[in-house]
Structure formats: C-alpha cells, structure tokens
Amino acid sequence: MCKIVLHSDALPAPLFRRLVRAVREVGTERLKESYKTNFWFALDARPSNIVEEVIAQLTRLVQPGPRCTGAEWWLGRLAYGKSLSMHFDRDLTLEKRTGRVVHPLWASILYLNRFPSSPTVVLDQVLSRDQKSLVPHEARFGRTIYPVPNQYVIYQGSLYHGVVANETARKPTGFSRKARKSPKFRLTLLVNYWNRRPLPPVCRDYDGSVYKALQNGY
C-alpha cells in the first residue's frame, strides 16, 4: 500500500499565521506567467524567507532520510472551479533534455485556507517503465484530502495525483453569485523533497526579486 500521511496543526499557530499573511500579500504575482514558480532550498542552508523557515519545520514531520539534499517549493493558487489534472511530479527540465523521468523522494502539501470544493486526490498508481501507462492499470487505493488550514499531507513522490474541482460543493467564503469567479484562491504551499536538485530554469534560487512579501514575512 502506498504511503500517504496526514498531519493536523502541522505548524505552530504564530508561524502559520505569518505564512498565510505573507502568501496573501503575494496575491496574484506571476500567475499570468505560470501557475507555479519553483524554488530550491538546500536543507543545510539558512532560511532567507518565511517559506524556507516553514520548510525547516515541516522537514521534521517528513523525515525524508539521509539521501535528501533539499526541497523544491512553490505556491499553489487555484481559483474556484479550477482543477489541476492528474499528473506526476518530476524534473521537467531533465525530462525535456534527456527523456529521463525522475520523481522526488517525497511530495507534500500544506493547506493554507479552507476550500472544500477542490480536494486533492492521491492514488496508488505510478508511471510504468515505458512512461506511457499507469501501474496498476486501475487504482486499488487512494485518498481524497479536503483543504483544511494548517493540515499537511505527505506522500511518495512517484504517486499519481491532482486537484478535482467539485462545483456542487459548498462555495468558499467570499464567493459572490454575481461574480464569475471567487475572489478567494485555494492557497497551498507545495514542497517536494529530492536527493538531487531539479535542473533550472524550472527550479531556481530564491533571490527576493519576486514574491518579496515572503522576505518581509520572514
């Protein structure tokens, strides 16, 4: 059976509040360019922003093992009614250059707000050696995780997962029937733990030139 672990109240409340405040200040920065902007944090480095401070705490829950050298992280900001298709996390630049598929050791999601209409679905399926099919062909086990503030899910980095929007579910606070979209986003911090750094330009160093609010939060 695949390993999927769920922690409630993952962070101390003051630290969690600082993180949420900083991410809300980031707002929609860079969303038009890409759904996600990925950064690298070496686990032996000193944190330079609120997210890296948080990762230093979360790593104690993950216990990624001696092979792990660092964490790739990005902010998830998904509007109401939007899904994220089922997929595998991998080193996209390496795959593009060589065709080789490499997954993180562990993947994880910290939920920053309540958003019951858009749960995460994690299945026990992995990518086959031919990189074209799923193993097993049909999932035998899976878990649906509804976003709850300060809840943290950890799962094997090779597992098939995504976000399945359900518009029949209760709308998040702040939704207006007159508006086409909710003014709120489904906010998450996503952290993948690796035994090797994913290649640039997808995974970059955080230098404060974007998401400056994260430095202010730190």
8-26: per-residue pLDDT in tens?
A: 999 999 999 999 999 999 9
Any idea what the CATH number is for the domain that residue 194 is in? 2.60.120.620
Tally the residues of the chain: 218
pLDDT at 180 over 80: no
Asked if residue 72 belongs to a domain, the reply is yes
Burial state string for 20-39 with b = 16 or more CB within 10 A and e = fewer than 16: bebbeebeeeebeeeebbbb
Asked if residue 76 belongs to a domain, the reply is yes
Asked if residue 55 belongs to a domain, the reply is yes
d(CA 171, CA 185): 11
Q: What share of the chain is helix, strand, coil (3-state, %, to 5)?
A: 20, 30, 55
pLDDT at 171 over 90: no
Cis peptide upstream of residue 12 (ω within 30 degrees of 0): no
Asked if residue 208 belongs to a domain, the reply is no
Asked if residue 213 belongs to a domain, the reply is no
Asked if residue 17 belongs to a domain, the reply is yes
Q: What is the pTM of this model?
A: 0.92
Find tokens 């899904």 and name the residue. Answer: 83
pLDDT at 173 over 60: no
Asked if residue 214 belongs to a domain, the reply is no
| Contacting residues for 16 by C-beta, under 8 A, at least 6 apart | 10, 149, 150
Average pLDDT of the residues of the chain: 91
Please tell me which residue, 23 or 218, carries the higher pLDDT value: 23
Distances in whole angstroms, Cα of residue 56 to Cα of each of 28, 41, 44, 99: 25, 10, 9, 32
Asked if residue 64 belongs to a domain, the reply is yes
d(CA 104, CA 39): 14
What are the tens digits of pLDDT across the range 47-70? 999 999 999 999 999 999 999 999
Closest C-alpha to 115, from 178, 179, 165: 165
pLDDT at 28 over 70: yes
Domain with 173, as residue range(s), is 4-198
SS3 string, 39-95, reads EEEECCCCCCCHHHHHHHHHHHHHCCCCCCCEEEEEEEEEECCCCEEEECCCCHHHH
Count of domains in the chain?
A: 1
